[in-house]
Structure 1
């Protein structure tokens, strides 16, 4: 257990450093989009390309990993939506609550963390989960969020926006190019390979620092919004106060993310193995630990873009990130005991 903590503590320490930098003003809030852009468009795609190019193409096309991960993601989405609808939460907020419950922070946090714990053999299963969540889980939840749209073209518009988001996201393209490089055994010129390596090496620290900064920005903006809404209400302007997600609702979604999701992946994987599906222990450990990661920070930006309760999503991301400091090492130790 101590060995796992020694590996995970520096990762969460970088998140805490980013949070502290943004909360104290050492990192201006205006600089956070630049950090995110560097990670999303430069460093992380280079990291994914390197892992994809180095992995055998058969590992990148592992149907067992895709089937188990896909089934678990769809079940988590369905369960979270049903729970939210029973609590009289609208379709838009219910759908993005489901996305934040099913979409782990694999790119910014999972890739460097799991490589440190499991080694490079964890890269291929993670690439498969990232591709599925970017293409299928995100698109499904965005489509569900439009079910309560006022106009009949809401779902079609959401589908176009989801497709545009997939096309504009560099991570799926990096995965595809890495797979092609693996299949063709492409050898890049030394200067190009070195440039990609330098950008990839920068992905982990900058991404983790950026997660903390994004969480701090969400907390600061929510506090400012609440204050301005209270002032406006006191002056009789008729403005509506900021919606406050109930703590029970936030904690229930966080529990689905950190407890139900990894247990569901583990159960489905064991069932699939019993039925004869070829799924090795390294891949099993990787996808269970991916499911045990906190929620992806970019879901808050998506929720804001589609008019959902961004404050609720930000609180869920914050809770899962803080709780994962304790829950993730336990999940890693639990999986190690079953190896």
Structure 2
């Protein structure tokens, strides 16, 4: 366990550093969107492209990984909605809560952390999970979040929701960087040396800046979400993310292997550890954009991130 903590501690320490910097106003809140933009549009796409272009295409296109992870994501969305929908939490808030329960922070945190723990071979599975979450799970939850306004509007409201979800997917640079990396791997494309060194330099900046930015975003969300809220509105969802999600992935994965699905044990281990990660911080941005209760979403992300330092480390110790 101590050896695992020695690896995971620096990653969570950087998140804490970003949180403290924003809370103590050493980092102005106005600077956080700039950090987020640097990570989202420059550093992280370069890192994902580098991993994608240097990973065999067969590892990136593992149908068993896609299938198992997608099924678990759909179950998590359904279960979370069934548990949380009530007179106060309607479809918009419920769908964003379901997304934050099913969407781990695999991009900003999972890629560098699992690469450090398990080696670069684990990254192909992480990128497959990122594609499922960004393209399918997010689109489904965005569409479900529009059901509150669909009453009396019928098909047009649902089509509008689908359009917004598709726009979000097509404008997300992380998805494109993974796909372009896969194409580069398939055709064995390499940039000219000066360009490649520039891309690799940006890729090296992704991990520390992304982790620091997570902490700053969490601090900003907490500072702006100052209205009171019962613990029952957000703590159960955070616990579902940290415990139910990985147990579900483990159970479905083992069941699939028993049925003859060619899912490799190493890939299943990575999928379970992905599910052990805290909720993705960018769901807070989606909640704000679609008018959901961002205070609730921010609390879920904050609780899951704080608790995952021990829960994720314990999972790594058990599974590796």
Q: Tell me the TM-score normalized by structure 1.
A: 0.92
CA–CA distance in structure 2, aligned partners of residues 78 and 88 of structure 1 = 18
Preserved contact between residue 121 and residue 282 of structure 1 (Cα < 8 Å): no
3-state secondary structure, aligned to 1:27: coil
Residue 282 (structure 1) aligns with: 266
Residue 202 (structure 1) aligns with: 205
CA–CA distance in structure 2, aligned partners of residues 154 and 95 of structure 1 = 16
CA–CA distance in structure 1, aligned partners of residues 37 and 275 of structure 2 = 25
| Structure possessing the higher radius of gyration over alpha carbons | 1
1:273 maps to 2:276: no
Residue 241 (structure 1) aligns with: none
1:303 maps to 2:303: no
Give the unaligned 5+ runs of structure 1.
227-243
Instruction: State the 1:249 CA deviation.
Output: 2.5
1:253 maps to 2:256: no
Give the unaligned 5+ runs of structure 2.
none
Residue 220 (structure 1) aligns with: 223
RMSD: 1.1
Residue 98 (structure 1) aligns with: 98
CA–CA distance in structure 2, aligned partners of residues 103 and 50 of structure 1 = 23
CA–CA distance in structure 2, aligned partners of residues 265 and 172 of structure 1 = 22
Residue 334 (structure 1) aligns with: 318
Instruction: State the 1:321 CA deviation.
Output: 0.3
Instruction: State the 1:276 CA deviation.
Output: 1.1
Equivalent runs, 1:78-227 vs 2, <5 Å: 78-86=78-86, 89-149=89-149, 150=151, 152=153, 153-223=156-226, 226=227
Residue 8 (structure 2) aligns with: 8
3-state secondary structure, aligned to 1:147: helix
Instruction: State the 1:76 CA deviation.
Output: 0.2
CA–CA distance in structure 2, aligned partners of residues 79 and 246 of structure 1 = 20
CA–CA distance in structure 1, aligned partners of residues 109 and 78 of structure 2 = 25
Aligned residues: 317
Instruction: State the 1:151 CA deviation.
Output: 5.2
CA–CA distance in structure 2, aligned partners of residues 185 and 201 of structure 1 = 22
CA–CA distance in structure 1, aligned partners of residues 281 and 217 of structure 2 = 7
Preserved contact between residue 47 and residue 200 of structure 1 (Cα < 8 Å): yes
The equivalent position to 1:294 in structure 2, one of 278, 286, 292, is 278
1:34 maps to 2:34: yes
CA–CA distance in structure 2, aligned partners of residues 111 and 187 of structure 1 = 22
Deviations along 1:247-275, one digit per CA (max 9) or x if unpaired, are 02311101110000001001111011111
CA–CA distance in structure 2, aligned partners of residues 22 and 15 of structure 1 = 11
Preserved contact between residue 273 and residue 279 of structure 1 (Cα < 8 Å): yes
Instruction: State the 1:184 CA deviation.
Output: 0.3
Once the two structures are overlaid, the 10-residue window that deviates more, 107-116 or 83-92, is: 83-92
Residue 58 (structure 1) aligns with: 58
Deviations along 1:294-337, one digit per CA (max 9) or x if unpaired, are 0000101101111111000000000000000110001111111x
Q: Tell me the TM-score normalized by structure 2.
A: 0.97
Instruction: State the 1:86 CA deviation.
Output: 4.9
3-state secondary structure, aligned to 1:295: coil
Structure 1: 4+ residue segments shifted above 4 A: none
CA–CA distance in structure 2, aligned partners of residues 179 and 328 of structure 1 = 29
Residue 231 (structure 1) aligns with: none
CA–CA distance in structure 2, aligned partners of residues 52 and 92 of structure 1 = 34
